[in-house]
Amino acid sequence: LDDVADDLEEILLTEDAIHERIAELSREIEKDYAGERLLLVGVLKGAVMVMADLARELKLPINMDWMAVSSYGSGTQSSGVVRILKDLDSDLTGRRVLIVEDIIDSGLTLSWLLANLQSRGAASVDILALLRKPDAAKVDVPVRYVGFDIPNKFVVGYGLDYAERYRNLRGVGVLAPHVYA
């Protein structure tokens, strides 16, 4: 994180802490889906890093697919109106589906996505989110696997961006106000 140290006011999660937590969650998932093939659905673009690490950590047969959605339109406030920018390639009929997200903020994106995928005939649809901000929740999302509950601050790294920057940081940090002020 050295080259952007001035842009971060605090490092919340190190690369090691994230990997350790993903390994723990993977052991739970392996038990819960033992003997089955799991379809991991990553939500572009934030979930790319957690998807890549989770998929390689899991000792289960998996498939990976991706969706891109837009929930914010042109405004800064999440509207709850979600548009599909890229749909899945897979048919969900009879599949065990695990949605993989980097963060639950207001919860509006995931509550819409969960309902949308549940309507496609899957055998089950569950959610894994690496991060969750309990104090930012506008709707309650039933998450099966949560990595970390974090404070309601602007965080970047490990897939999470501010203006499309910082996604490639290996850890997660709190963005310093001077960056967006």
The residue ranges that bind ligand PRP (CB under 6 A) are: 43-46, 71-72, 78, 101-109, 161
107 binds, among ligand PRP, Mg ion, Mn ion, none (CB under 5 to 8 A by kind): ligand PRP
| C-alpha to C-alpha distance for 146 and 118, rounded to whole angstroms | 20
| C-alpha to C-alpha distance for 107 and 82, rounded to whole angstroms | 12
* 26, 29, 40, 46: residue in contact with Mn ion (rule CB under 5 A): 46
Kindly state whether residue 157 participates in binding Mn ion, applying the rule CB under 5 A: no
Spatial contact of 163 and 28, defined as CB atoms under 8 Å apart: no
Give me the long-range contacts of 23-32 (CB less than 8 A, separation at least 24): 23/57, 25/54, 25/128, 25/145, 25/147, 26/54, 26/57, 26/58, 26/59, 28/145, 29/58, 29/60, 29/98, 29/128, 29/145, 30/58, 30/59, 30/60
Residue closer to Mn ion, measured from CB, 46 or 147? 46
Catalytic residue chosen out of the listed positions 91, 105, 135, 140: 105
Residue closer to Mn ion, measured from CB, 84 or 123? 84
Residue closer to ligand PRP, measured from CB, 76 or 93? 76
Annotated catalytic, 105? yes
CB of 166 to ligand PRP, least distance (A): 10
The footprint of Mg ion (CB under 5 A) covers: 161
Residues that bind Mn ion (CB under 5 A): 46
